[in-house]
Amino acid sequence: MTIEIVDVTITSPGRNFVTLKITTSDGITGLGDATLNGRELAVAAYLSEHVASMLVGRDEDRIEDTWQYLYRGPYWRRGPVTMAAIAAVDMALWDIKAKKAGMPLYQLLGGASREGVRVYAHASGTDYAALSNAITGYKELGYTAVRVQTGVPGLGQIYGVSNAGPGVRYDYEPAKRSGARPAEETWDTRNYLSHMPGIFAQIREEFGTDLRILHDGHHRMSPIEAARFAKDIEPYDLFWLEDCTPGEDQTALRLVRQHSTTPLAIGEVFNSVYDYQTLITERLIDYVRSAVTHTGGITAMKKLLDFAAIYGIKSGIHGPTDISPVGMAAALHLDLAIHNFGIQEYMPHNEKTLEVFQTSFTFDEGFLHPGDLPGLGVELDEEAAAAHEYTKAYLPVNRLLDGTVHDW
């Protein structure tokens, strides 16, 4: 059998998604997520204009060869656009292979290594009271781990904080349909560094020590600020501090490690194993944060996580709403199968998205399971997808109080 049809679907049920669908000469279909938040059309064009014609006529079973063909063939390599495109092809081919085998994908990856996949929710609030209310809501839903983000006095809207009011919120979508250019937010690290340790102290005081607490620094601290912050929050026993400083400056994490034992997670903006090479071989991180969608797919992600396992580093796969249900399903199959699983991020998609993507993964008491349908277990309703037209959306740009552009 061979690859016969390659389709790219762009849909926007509340936010933009790019989905690749491959159909074989025997009519078997596979899906891949190619969503790159704020740059969706770049990946869609890369797939439609440059990759699709390379795939038609190829043997769909030759997944590794196709991956190498798409990675080395174009000469230019790595980067978020290329690796999201390769990821979508890879996911779709694994989906097809598992459907042909009549088994859920995790069975082809070695079978289940656990009963379920522990997930963490996003609890946020403009102040501690709103954050506390959100944490309580997620605990009541059965979550055993929450990421906590809160407003900072003196600053307006900042990353990660839903200002839609207290309680369980699944509707924080950072990409804004802001017209020709991104919305702008203002940031001050000094306010943040002095405010946050008290928030963690209040959380531990109110919720005790069992709850796993995660926090995302979102690239905004300098290495020495990250070292200070990681040291200041050590007493609050975080499950991880994420993106404490821009991770592409890999050796900067040596400074953070010298000052703190707070576990570190990095990598959601990375797209290849080479972005992690120093971080992993020097054990400068504890969790690999990449999404299957942004790192070249299941083939590449399995290799990356097996490499990390040698150094005692675990998975913490990225799972915000800008990873589609297809990308989330791919993550869950890997999460269930690998030995060095850490935790899975889970921001549930909205109802409209779940009308477009029919999923089979299930949530129970803080754990997800990918389900046992053959393949990834997700199908795309193309008619429903067509009802939601693409609308340009940008992630915000961050500036310091003096107007200097900063990491968002």
Give start and end residues of each alpha helix (H) in 282-368: 297-310, 325-337, 351-356
At 220 the three-state DSSP class reads: coil
The residue from 184, 395, 397, 399 that contacts ligand CS2 (CB under 6 A) is 395
Query: By the 8 A CB rule, do 354 and 362 touch?
Result: no
Site string for ligand CS2, 192-221 (x = CB under 6 A): ------------------------x-x---
Site for Mg ion in 262-321 (CB under 5 A): 268
**Of the residues 71, 106, 138, 159, which is catalytic?**
159
Site for Mg ion in 170-229 (CB under 5 A): 216
Compute how many other C-beta atoms are within 10 angstroms of the C-beta atom of residue 297: 29
Residue 342 binding: pick among Mg ion, ligand CS2, none (C-beta 5-8 Å cut-off by kind): none
Residue 240 or 357 with smaller CB distance to ligand CS2: 240
Site for ligand CS2 in 338-357 (CB under 6 A): 345
Compute how many other C-beta atoms are within 10 angstroms of the C-beta atom of residue 170: 16
377/396 Cα distance (integer angstroms): 33
Residue 269 or 298 with smaller CB distance to ligand CS2: 269
* Closest to 328 measured CA to CA, from 355, 348, 308, 309: 348
Residue 359 binding: pick among Mg ion, ligand CS2, none (C-beta 5-8 Å cut-off by kind): none
The residue from 174, 263, 325, 377 that contacts ligand CS2 (CB under 6 A) is 174
The residue from 33, 90, 188, 322 that contacts ligand CS2 (CB under 6 A) is 322
How many residues bind Mg ion (CB under 5 A)? The answer is 2
At 190 the three-state DSSP class reads: helix
- How do 344-345 and 357-358 pair as beta strands? unpaired
Nearest distance, CB of residue 10 and ligand CS2, angstroms: 17
Residue 91 or 323 with smaller CB distance to ligand CS2: 323
43/45 Cα distance (integer angstroms): 5
Residue 345 binding: pick among ligand CS2, Mg ion, none (C-beta 5-8 Å cut-off by kind): ligand CS2
User: Is 159 tagged catalytic?
Assistant: yes
The one-character DSSP state at 139 is H
* Closest to 301 measured CA to CA, from 319, 288, 282: 288
Query: By the 8 A CB rule, do 175 and 15 touch?
Result: yes
Nearest distance, CB of residue 217 and Mg ion, angstroms: 8
Residue nearest Mg ion (C-beta atom)? 216
Site for ligand CS2 in 18-37 (CB under 6 A): 37
Q: Kindly state whether residue 90 participates in binding ligand CS2, applying the rule CB under 6 A.
A: no
* Closest to 157 measured CA to CA, from 402, 398, 403, 407: 398
User: Is 138 tagged catalytic?
Assistant: no
- The type of residue at 224 is I
Residue 97 or 220 with smaller CB distance to ligand CS2: 220
Compute how many other C-beta atoms are within 10 angstroms of the C-beta atom of residue 195: 17
Residue 66 or 149 with smaller CB distance to ligand CS2: 149
Nearest distance, CB of residue 159 and Mg ion, angstroms: 9
Q: Which residues are CB-neighbours of 403 under 8 A, at least 6 positions away?
A: none
**Of the residues 122, 215, 218, 294, which is catalytic?**
218
Q: Which residues are CB-neighbours of 390 under 8 A, at least 6 positions away?
A: 10, 11, 12, 16, 40, 41
188/176 Cα distance (integer angstroms): 22
Please report, as ranges, the residues that interact with ligand CS2 according to CB under 6 A.
37, 174, 216, 218, 242, 268, 320, 322, 345, 395
Q: Catalog residues that contact Mg ion under the rule CB under 5 A.
A: 216, 268
Q: Which residues are catalytic?
A: 159, 218
